[in-house]
Amino acid sequence: MERQKQKKRVLIVEDAPYMSEMIAEMLDKEKYEIVGVAVNGKEAVRKYKELEQKPDIVTMDIVMEEMDGIQATKEIKKYDPDATIIVISALGSSEYRDAAMEAGADEYLWKPFTVKNLSKVFENLLAVKKG
């Protein structure tokens, strides 16, 4: 019997429900499992800490109520320096990208994006973490 490859665990942090659904829909169900969805940074940090098995990847929006994605990225990285975080934002300026990367994000993806963009970023990051 062939051993089933373990799916990579994903925590989606996004305040717009249609966006989090779109990200979930874009991910290959054979490879990825959504382990949680948070609608703001505060909830993201709490969920990350509560999950028994840490997510392999966190997708992080920037502009959210209560705590933005930059702050949430810092908090998660403080808690788990090995966390893999992809910031996904419509804010296309380099200052937001730089702030996200300084906060500890591993990658920055601009909205709108394609399934191909998203898959490529996920696969590249997971390959780097493995190697």
Best CA proximity match to 86, nearest among 43, 129, 47, 49: 129
Whether 1 is covered by a domain: the verdict is no
- Domain count for the chain: 1
Whether 96 is covered by a domain: the verdict is yes
Position 95 pLDDT exceeds 50? yes
pTM over 0.95: no
Whether 13 is covered by a domain: the verdict is yes
* Ramachandran angles phi, psi of 72, nearest 5°: -65, -40
What residues make up the domain containing 111?
8-122
Whether 54 is covered by a domain: the verdict is yes
Whether 60 is covered by a domain: the verdict is yes
Tokens of 98: 């730089």
Q: What is the pLDDT of residues 33-90, one digit of tens each?
A: 999 999 999 999 999 999 999 999 999 999 999 999 999 999 999 999 999 999 999 8
* CATH number of the domain enclosing 73: 3.40.50.2300
Position 131 pLDDT exceeds 70? no
Whether 72 is covered by a domain: the verdict is yes
Whether 130 is covered by a domain: the verdict is no
